[in-house]
Amino acid sequence: MQAIGVFMSSIPLIFVSFKLTKQIIPMKPNFILTAALTAFCLLSTTYSHAQIPQGFNYQAVLRDGGGDILASQPLTMRFTIHDATAAGTVLYQETRATTTTSEGLVNTVIGTGTIVSGNFTTIDWPSASKFLRVEVNATGSYVDLGTQQLMSVPYALAASNAPNSWSLTGNANTNENTQFIGTTDNVPLSFRVNNENAGRIDPTLSNTFLGHKSGNVNTTGFGNTAVGSSTLSFNTEGTFNSAIGTNALYSNTTGYDNTANGSGALYFNTTGNSNTANGASALSSNTTGNNNTANGDEALYDNTTGNNNTANGIDALSSNTTGYWNTASGASALSSNTIGFYNTANGYEALASNITGDFNTAIGKSADVSTGALFNATAIGYNATVNASNKVRIGNTFVTVIQGQVAYSFPSDGRFKNNITESDVKGLEFIKLLRPVEYNFDTKKFEEFLTKNMPDSTKARHFEDTDFSASTAIRQSGFVAQEVEQAMEESGYNFNGVHAPADENDNYSVAYSLFVVPLVKGMQEQQMMIEELKLALEQSQNEKVQMQFDFETRLTSIENRLLNKEQR
């Protein structure tokens, strides 16, 4: 076998031609084979994106035993590739039906014939030597034309024979310092899929994009990191953004210092800054809102321009659009809030019914407001519901004891009091009109009243596994608020111990501790009456003593007169 190799430096190709001349003298017939095996090995990285054909050319001139060319002869060729040795494992075998030319030439491409066994595209060319066996069938049976080693592996299918090669089926015994995928100059490294951007590592702008169309149109934005399909896809000038997950920060253009972790997180953000979204679709609708933090699936989902909101938990603040400075911790906390601001909710579904209300606070699972527009309302405790603005509710309707280590105190510093009067306080006049009673309070009915405006799904959770019998069974002592209000009107007393409903959603309540004031006034009035009666009694006693003295004096005088008269 004679091999002729020509290297053409003007183009990045090596042309290798093999000529095999062999005379085979079988029983019948005889053939003389002159074959040319041609291979092209691609070396230059300039052509690294070219399509590499899965096959290599094979040419042969067939002659009969007498040396005459087999012209225009129909025949079948069979090619077999063996691994390691001429008799090694058959890696691939194919047949090819063809006809010689008038010069006896056979011209075909090995790898594109009719497959008998194996897969040409999966042959591991670098793993070991490969041997090609050629057979021809022109008369009904195959004649073996011999087996020869492939000394130069066809057309880059054996990349290990080329400098700086990298196998598509894995590599071994590599040196990370000298064998790597990348560049050796200060030029960005890019990846493509379907000839579309799929990755870019830019050392100049300090950007790292990895994923189909990730950072697709970035121009001057720097310090960005995006991992996932279409992450930061429209970013142009935005800086120091981090996006992980399909479509995270998809629409961002010039927004900066944003962090999005999760599919669709901060999807619509364009120019909003310093937002943090962790969870699928968290802050998904945000466009220009700033300084928001969302942790949880769809947390702050509908927020568009609201600022400085914090949502921790799935669906927390999910309906918020333009509301600001809200804090929600717990799944579905403040989930219905849209434009309300400065609200604080801690607990599962805390303040879930608030919509436009401001400055509200709820602590506890399902601690809530009864309607969506209250102001400065506070609910503390599991299922606690506050139903009026500027009102605090502690505990739900089936709480039986509220306890503290010390008594509740009310600020009463004289330095902050004005318009102080005594005459306006009613005592006995008011107290005598009150009717002390004992009663049972229907806590279930009251809970139904508090939750009447809530959605059915929310309302139902206030009654799940809830027994109101214990709280309803307590025998209470007190007053009826409406009767106290009537006593106030009749006595002309502007008493603040009764809270009258602010609207149809509010309820009457009584501050029993404030009754101390009219009771003290009544006791003072009684004491004044006692003192007056005591003084009158003393005066009466003195008058009686004086009368007794006068009577006795006069009696003594009469007795003396009578005695003197007798003596005369």
Can you give 444-467 as a three-state secondary structure string? Answer: HHHHHHHCCCCCHHHHHHCCCCCC
Q: CA–CA separation, 471 vs 399, rounded Å?
A: 7
- Could you tell me if 25 and 38 are in contact, meaning their C-beta atoms sit under 8 angstroms apart? no
Q: CA–CA separation, 290 vs 286, rounded Å?
A: 9
* CA angle, 537 then 539 then 544, to 5°: 95
SS (H, E, C) 94-157: EEEEEECCCCCEEEEEECCCEEEEECHHHCCHHHCCEEEEEEEECCCCEEEEEEEECCCCHHHC
In 337-475, at which residue ranges do the beta strands (DSSP E only) sit? Answer: 344-346, 361-363, 368-369, 378-380, 385-386, 392-394, 437-439
Exposed/middle/buried for residue 336 (C-beta within 10 Å: 0-12, 13-18, 19+): buried
The first and second tokens of residue 501, run together, are 């409903």
Q: At 161, phi and psi to the nearest 5?
A: -85, -5
Q: CA–CA separation, 203 vs 123, rounded Å?
A: 38
- Those residues with Cβ within 8 angstroms of residue 486's Cβ, 6 or more apart along the chain or in another chain: 433
Q: CA–CA separation, 137 vs 426, rounded Å?
A: 127
Architecture of domain 2-161: Sandwich (2.60)
Other C-beta atoms lying within 10 Å of the C-beta of residue 247: 25
Q: CA–CA separation, 27 vs 46, rounded Å?
A: 52
pLDDT given at position 164: 56
Which ranges of the chain have pLDDT less than 50?
Answer: 1-51, 153-161
Token pair 């009258």: residue: 500
Q: Tell me the whole-structure pTM to 2 decimals.
A: 0.67
Q: CA–CA separation, 343 vs 335, rounded Å?
A: 12
Name the amino acid, one letter, at 234: F
Q: Tell whether omega for the bond before 29 is within 30 degrees of 0, i.e. cis.
A: yes
User: What are the Cα distances from residue 307, in Å, to 311, 331, 339, 343?
Assistant: 12, 20, 11, 13
Name the amino acid, one letter, at 422: E
The β-bridge relationship of strands 259-261 and 242-244 is: parallel
- Could you tell me if 321 and 339 are in contact, meaning their C-beta atoms sit under 8 angstroms apart? yes
pLDDT given at position 27: 32
Question: Torsion angle of alpha carbons 277, 281, 287, 292, nearest 10°?
Answer: -30
- Could you tell me if 41 and 156 are in contact, meaning their C-beta atoms sit under 8 angstroms apart? yes
The first and second tokens of residue 307, run together, are 């600022």
- SS3 (DSSP) at 35: strand
Phi and psi based region of residue 542 (left: phi greater than 0; alpha: psi -120 to 50; beta: remaining): alpha
Q: CA–CA separation, 78 vs 45, rounded Å?
A: 35
The first and second tokens of residue 89, run together, are 């494992």
- Those residues with Cβ within 8 angstroms of residue 455's Cβ, 6 or more apart along the chain or in another chain: 353
Beta bridge partners of 276: 259, 293
C-alpha 55 chain-centroid distance: 50
The first and second tokens of residue 400, run together, are 């039986």
The first and second tokens of residue 128, run together, are 């070991």
